[in-house]
Amino acid sequence: MSSEDQNDSYTIAMLAQVFKTRFDPLFFKVAKALRLSSLSPNVLTLLGVIVNAVASFFIAYGKWRWAGLLVLIGGMFDVLDGAVARINGKATSFGVFFDSVMDRFSDFLLFIAFVFYYATKGDIDNMLLSLFSMMGSIMVPFCRARAEVFLSSCKVGWLERPERIILISIALFSGWVVPILWVILVFSFITVLQRIRYTYQMLSEGR
């Protein structure tokens, strides 16, 4: 990437972080206002996967804005399931496990759709970019899961799933798909390195 692209990528990543910080409390209020507490959090999780599956179809065939809208809706379900679980006291270990597994399905669907889109265009460079972005995105939660076998928590790092969903939505609405895939690629691997470093430090200190 050029230095200008790198600056744009950094700005986009920071905007995504601000968006997440500002809107997380809002989703909790929405869950209360809509009285969603009667719904099962796992049902909301499944709805999110279904919406993302439809979004991936639109991505694969270049319908960016429709896909962006659906990714946002799917992301809302993903946030609301946790909010609902906290509101009605139904947060369970299985719910956390189920949510994590379904998130990985959604991630794979979205990135494979980008791979398919660029492959059909004969754009090998951006097809590979999509593949490596998917690799980084999957490695982030994998590192956390493996670290938490030994540690109580490993949530360090700049780019987790909420930021990633926001970035993908921005990419689809704006058409800046390639620059934002670079953002996801770079910041995902930075997050992986941050988690490796954190885990090494904690284990070295005997925590």
pLDDT at 29: 60
pLDDT at 172: 96
CB < 8 Å & 24+ apart, contacts of 39-42? 39/84, 40/90, 41/81, 41/82, 41/84, 41/85, 41/90, 41/91, 41/95, 41/99, 42/81, 42/95, 42/98, 42/99
Whether 19 has a pLDDT exceeding 50, the answer reads no
What mean pLDDT is reported for the chain? 83
Whether 18 has a pLDDT exceeding 80, the answer reads no
Percent of the chain with pLDDT over 90: 55
Query: What contacts 2, CB < 8 A, 6 or more positions away?
Result: none
Q: Predicted confidence band at 25 (pLDDT cuts at 50, 70, 90)?
A: low
What are the pLDDT digits (tens) for 129-185?
999 999 999 999 999 999 999 998 898 988 888 889 989 999 999 999 999 999 999
Q: Determine if residue 169 is left, alpha or beta; phi over 0 gives left, psi from -120 to 50 gives alpha, anything else beta.
A: alpha
Contact 48, 102 (CB under 8 A): yes
Q: Which CATH topology does 3-200 take? A: Four Helix Bundle (Hemerythrin (Met), subunit A) (1.20.120)
- Considering the entire predicted model, what is its pTM? 0.81
The residue extents of the domains of the chain are 3-200
Whether 86 has a pLDDT exceeding 70, the answer reads no
User: Using N-to-C axis directions, what is the helix angle for 124-147 and 161-174, rounded to 10°?
Assistant: 160
